Amino acid sequence: MISCRFRLLAPAIIGLSAMFSIAAQATEEAPRVKFATSQGDFVIEVYPDKAPKTVANFLQYVRDKHYDGTIFHRVMPNFMIQGGGFDASYIQKKTRDTIQHEGRESLAKGLKNTVGMVAMARTNEPHSASSQFFINVVDNAFLDPTIIPPGDPVPRFEYGGRVYENVPRANLVNAPQLWGYTVFGKIVSGMDVVNKIRVLPTGPAGPLPSDVPRTTVLIQSATLVK
Residue 125 forms part of a structural domain:
yes
Contacts of 188 (CB under 8 A, 6+ apart): 32, 43, 44, 45
On the question of pLDDT at 1 being above 80, the answer is no
> For the chain, how many structural domains are there in total?
2
The verdict on 2 and 40 lying in the same domain is: no
Same domain, 191 and 210: yes
Residues 6+ apart with CB under 8 A from 5: none
Gap between the Cα atoms of 112 and 118, Å rounded: 9
Contact yes or no for 162/133 (Cβ under 8 A): no
Query: Based on the domain organization, do 96 and 134 belong to the same domain?
Result: yes
Q: Angle at Cα 23 formed by Cα 4 and Cα 109, nearest 5°? A: 130
Same domain, 22 and 43: no
87 and 10, same structural domain?
no
In which element (H, E) is residue 99 found?
none
Q: Model-level pTM?
A: 0.86
- The per-residue pLDDT for range 147-206, each reduced to its tens digit, is 999 999 999 999 988 999 999 999 999 999 999 999 999 999 999 999 999 999 999 999
Where in the sequence is the domain holding 141, given as residue range(s)? 31-145+180-224
Identify any residues that bridge with 222 across adjacent strands, giving them in sequence order: 35
Within a domain: 155: no
Pairing of strands 117-120, 133-136: antiparallel
128 inside domain: yes
Q: What is the CATH number of the domain that holds 87?
A: 2.40.100.10
Residue 165 inside a domain? The answer is no
**Which of 125, 128, 73, 124 has its CA nearest to residue 95?**
128
Q: Within 10 A of 82 (CB to CB), how many other CB atoms are there?
A: 19
pLDDT for residue 29? 83
Q: Could you read off the pLDDT of 52-103 as tens digits, one per residue?
A: 999 999 999 999 999 999 999 999 999 999 999 999 999 999 999 999 999 9
Residue whose C-alpha is closest to residue 218's, from 34, 72, 3: 72
Local structure of residue 77 (DSSP, 8 states)? T
Residues 182 and 54 sit within 8 Å (Cβ to Cβ): yes
- Sequence length of the chain is 226
